[in-house]
Structure 1
Amino acid sequence: MANRNRAAQLPTDDTSNPYFLHPSDNPGIILVPQQLTGSNYVAWSRSFSTALLAKNKLVFVDGSILRPARDDLLYQPWIRCNSMVISWLRNSVSPQICSSIMYLDDAYAIRYDLKERFSTCDPTRIYQLMQQLMSLSQGSSDVNTYFTNLRIV
């Protein structure tokens, strides 16, 4: 019952409300410049989280706002926002990865699935990173370029 009262007090035109959708928000928006391909999960995740935070929608993928009961007044706004975030997620991953999440209907479940698959420690990737780090030298690069390359590895 408290949830119902809260929903009545939070108008959908309140821009600070996570259920607010701006008129320019649409399912075709691409929020991050680089698609998730698997090996770039950490950079993609940070970019995507930042974009969702700016849109006040991070709560739909971090588990802060879970699907309300069907009779809850927030159910329909949650469905709309969750669907929008799912569209943004699908637009930000490679076609192959998209096909693997196509039938998940909860943005939190999709984000959890992607995190479980792509953020795990891979001994091969760790070895590759160590090799890149060991072979990195400043050479003819200026200090800023060398430092940037060092941070990228």
Structure 2
Amino acid sequence: MNSGTVHPPLDQNSPYFLHPAESPSNPLIFLRLNSQNYTNWSRSISLVLESENKISFIDGSLPRLEVTDPMYATWGRCNTYVLSWLHGDLNHVSELYEELYSAKQDYIARFLRGLNDQFATTKTQIMLLKSLPDMDTVFAMLTQQERQLNLSVDTPDSRILYAANSGHNSTRGRGRDRGV
């Protein structure tokens, strides 16, 4: 290293610089992520990470170093700081996901309880599953039973089943097997 070069962990303009007052246990922002403030939270955390010169750890512009790189330990330390700053909010995201999953399961259970007796067999089979399937799967199972019962598409029961599900197709196209 020549005399005009500052070692990256000591250079205040380097993403590897950690101010002595920084701590992985200190939150960067006091806005707690919830289901309604993602945009504000995302903007706040991005601004703070930018001001701390750490945004490159999450936007992909600073790639993970190889273990053999002499700066790997420094990169790992800074990366750990960034992860710990985000960790509390990411744990909260997990809690929000669990709430959403529970709400969807409750919605499906209420839907099934509201079905008339002709769907009792399929309703029982679905309710006995370890976890309730998504609404598209429930609807497909009920439609299959309806076909087996040779119900006409124009019967009132079929129209009720269709109407009950028609407002729920907002999850279509977002993937399957996510458990929600």
TM-score bin (small chain): 0.5 to 0.7
Q: CA deviation at 1:91?
A: 2.8
Gaps in structure 1 of 5+ consecutive residues: 101-122, 125-153
TM-score normalized with structure 1 length: 0.55
- Alignment of 1:63 with 2:60, yes or no, is yes
Q: Is the 8 A contact 1:60 1:85 kept in 2?
A: yes
Alignment partner of 1:31 out of 13, 28, 33: 28
Partner residue, 1:95: 92
Q: How many residues align?
A: 95
CA distance in 2, matches of 1:42, 1:50: 12
Measured at CA, do residues 75 and 69 of structure 1 come closer, stay the same or move farther in structure 2, by a change above 3 Å? same
Percent pairwise identity: 38
Larger Rg: 2
Give the 3-state SS of the residue equivalent to 1:53 in structure 2: helix
Gaps in structure 2 of 5+ consecutive residues: 98-169, 172-180
Partner residue, 2:14: 17
> Which structure ranks higher in relative contact order (CA pairs < 8 Å, sequence separation ≥ 6)?
1
- Alignment of 1:44 with 2:41, yes or no, is yes
Alignment partner of 1:73 out of 52, 60, 70: 70
Give the 3-state SS of the residue equivalent to 1:43 in structure 2: helix
Q: Is the 8 A contact 2:25 2:84 kept in 1?
A: yes
Q: Is the 8 A contact 1:35 1:93 kept in 2?
A: no
CA distance in 2, matches of 1:98, 1:29: 21
